[in-house]
Amino acid sequence: METQHIIHNFEPIYNEHSKILMLGTMPSPKSREVGFYYGHPRNRFWKVVSDVCGEAYPETREDKITFALRNGIAVWDVLAGCDIKGADDSSIRNPQPNDMSRILECADIKAIFTTGMKAFQLYKKFCYPKTGIMAIGLPSTSPANCRTSYEQLYEAYFEIRKYLE
């Protein structure tokens, strides 16, 4: 697989009522194909977050946006662009971070979470010095992270509840 330069072209999901910010690394090829966050059919993000919030799984793009906003969840990615091979976060080169102030100046964000270790590392290096808010790293919900069971994901993601209540 060849390295491609990818520019992030999804708008962040947030409003003034957002309480937590969930950050991935960069949209995967499948997410870019469907035009939305965590778009791979086997990605467990929307299932685990809706289960943690005690709500039905949001099926459509519009349902996911409505669900996130209703629950105070902002969704974006750490990177605005990078060179990457497919969906392999370990292949990322020339990362260009998103400007988190766009959300932080609008919403009273109580906590920032990353969905995976690479997102955490990139946030810590490029965003934390500007935001002053340390992220909480959660396991990746990607189908590539098959070592983490759904039960383990649920337990880890349950941490978001304390900031949403």
Q: Which residues of 76-94 are buried (b: 16+ CB within 10 A; e: fewer)?
A: bbbbbbbebeebebeebee
Residues 39-88 pLDDT 10s: 999 999 999 999 999 999 999 999 999 999 999 999 999 999 999 998 89
* 89-105: average pLDDT: 96
Q: Round the average pLDDT of the chain to a whole number and report it.
A: 96
Tokens of residue 85, six digits: 């091979």
d(CA 2, CA 68): 34
Helices then strands, counting H and E runs in the chain, come out as 8, 7
Contact 89, 78 (CB under 8 A): no
Contact 123, 23 (CB under 8 A): yes
Tokens of residue 71, six digits: 């629950």
pTM of the model: 0.96
Residue 117: pLDDT over 90: yes
pLDDT band, residue 165 (cuts 50/70/90): confident
d(CA 110, CA 93): 30
Tokens of residue 100, six digits: 């988190």
pLDDT band, residue 10 (cuts 50/70/90): very high
Tokens of residue 26, six digits: 């960069």
Residues 122-144 pLDDT 10s: 999 999 999 999 999 999 999 88
d(CA 36, CA 83): 19
